[in-house]
Structure formats: C-alpha cells, structure tokens
Amino acid sequence: MISIAISSQKGGVGKTTLSINLAHAFARAGLSTLLVDADPQGSVGLSLTRQSRLLSGFYDFLADPAIPMERLIVPTRLETFSLVAAGQASDYEAGNGSSGSHLARVRAFLRNVSARRYDICLIDTAAGLFGVTNDVIASADALILPQQAEPLGIRSVPKLLEGLNRLRIINPRLNVLGVCLTMLQQGLAVSTEAASTLRQLLPEEMLFQTAIPRDEIYIRASAKGLPVGVLEDGGGAETVFDSLRAEVQAKLGKSRHQAHIQPD
C-alpha cells in the first residue's frame, strides 16, 4: 500500500476537492482506495456523506486505537472506494496538538489500513504543518501539495518547503510527489501569471503538469455529496483528475524503481 498525504501550508486551496476527486480517480482505475479525512473540519465527510456527524473516524482512532477499523471504514457505491471520516472525538483540537504526540497512533492507523490490503490511502490533512498534520506527513509514504494559483498562496511556498525539509528529518522516506496548481483561472491574468511564476521558481519535476481549474462544477458536486466525475457534465473534470492520477502513478512508479518507497 502507498499512503499519500494531501497537505498545504495555507487553507482554502482546494485540498479536499483534490483529495476526493483524486481518490475517486484511483478507485475508478480499479485500485482499492481509502480516502481518510484527517482535517478536523471534516470536509471530506461533509462532502460525501450525510452521516458524517455520526460516524466514528480518524480522530476517534487517535483517541482510542482499540476501535476496530471496521467501525471506521465507510463503503461507497463504488466497490473500490471507501472512506474514513474525521470522526467525533471530542478533542478535535488534537488537530492543533503538539507535533509528535500522535505519531505512533497515526502510524498504527496506517498499519491497520495496510493490513486491509488497500492499494492507495489518500489522507486529506488540515492546513498548516503542525499538530496531527505533521504526524501524518511524518508517517506517510508520499506527499502532494495543492497550491492555489494566486500570489498570496505562492508567497507561502518558501515556508512550506522549509517546513517539509524539517519533516523529512523525521520521515526520511517521504516522497514529495510535487506541487499541484489548483483553482487556476485561465481568464484571469493574475492567476495565470502566478502559475507561470511558480513554474519558473520550482524544478520541473516538483510541479505536476496537470492543474486543477477553478470551476463551479466542484461546488455543485460537493453540494450533491458526490465526486465531480459522477455528475452528468463532470466528464471534463474527470479527465483532469485522471490525468493527475496518471502523473501520480508515474511518479510513484519511478520512485519504486529508484527504491525510495519500499512496497509492503
């Protein structure tokens, strides 16, 4: 199994949209996929299931690792796609707790997921590199960094990279798959210029070629509690995430080839 954290320094960059739709793309491709909501805001659950406020989830496991995984994993209509909600644990502030305080339990959670023979576990984290998010990144095999295509977001990139370099001290096998531009607005000069600047700043292999456009279809999809590809007119958006999925798989394949990621 490969665990991939989806994280960003800044909030509101389309992290949950990317997580849901990339996980759906993996599942449609036939890979057994688990999407985990590690954001205390619970956006994945709120987007995909009406029962999210009742479901036990990731933070409940952190509070009590004796909870069986069967109680946490929620199946979907797509056989290869399951999810784990954020949960009801009262100490939701755990999302902001000291780094390292949940490391062992996050790793135990991932071991349990791996034992259930998932191919991919995508973890949508809270924004910022601290608390449980730090522990998730310090435990995951790989990392995708959604980055909003606008100047303020891009100014946060040095801080993000600095933080990640520190985290690699704790997790040296972390494979940084790259930055994925999100909310790109082709008709807006400041957005395309920001994207272009980021492409100049970062090494080519650090950026995904696929960029996620800003589109009202994502709002409609989350309103209906569905991944965008399920909508009747979601074919275009589905293609975008298929393309991103192919890039992720290519990068993972390359990494495996270079023996940076040890398969289970």
Partner 1 sequence: MDPINPWLDPAEVRHLAEQLLRPVTPTRLSAADPGFDPSFVGFTSPESVAAPAPAPAAEPEQQAPAAPPQAPPRETEAPHRKAETNLSAISESPQPPPVAPSRTRFLERIRIFRDWLAKNFHATDIFILDREGKVIFDESGHGRLHFMARNLALASRGSGNIHVKVGPASILEVIPCETPYGRIVLGSIVPEALPANHVQTITEVLIQTASPA
- For residues 157-196, which are near partner 1 according to CB under 8 A? 157-158, 161-162, 164-166, 168-170, 172-173, 176, 190, 193-194
Nearer to partner 1, 140 or 226 (CB): 140
Q: Is 249 exposed, middle or buried (0-12, 13-18, 19+ CB in 10 A)?
A: middle
Nearer to partner 1, 107 or 220 (CB): 107
Nearer to partner 1, 43 or 99 (CB): 99
Site string for partner 1, 94-113 (x = CB under 8 A): ----xxxx-xx--x------
Contact at 8 Å (CB) between 72 and 57?
yes
Contact at 8 Å (CB) between 149 and 189?
no
HEC readout, 49-103: CCCCCCCCCHHHHHHCCCCCHHHCEEECCCCCEEEECCCCCCCHHHHHCCCCCCH
| # residues contacting partner 1 (CB under 8 A) | 39
Q: How far is the CB of 24 from partner 1 (least distance, A)?
A: 27
CA distance 31 to 71: 22
Positions in the binding site for partner 1 (CB under 8 A): 98-101, 103-104, 107, 129-130, 134, 138, 151, 154-155, 157-158, 161-162, 164-166, 168-170, 172-173, 176, 190, 193-194, 197, 200-203, 205-206, 258, 260
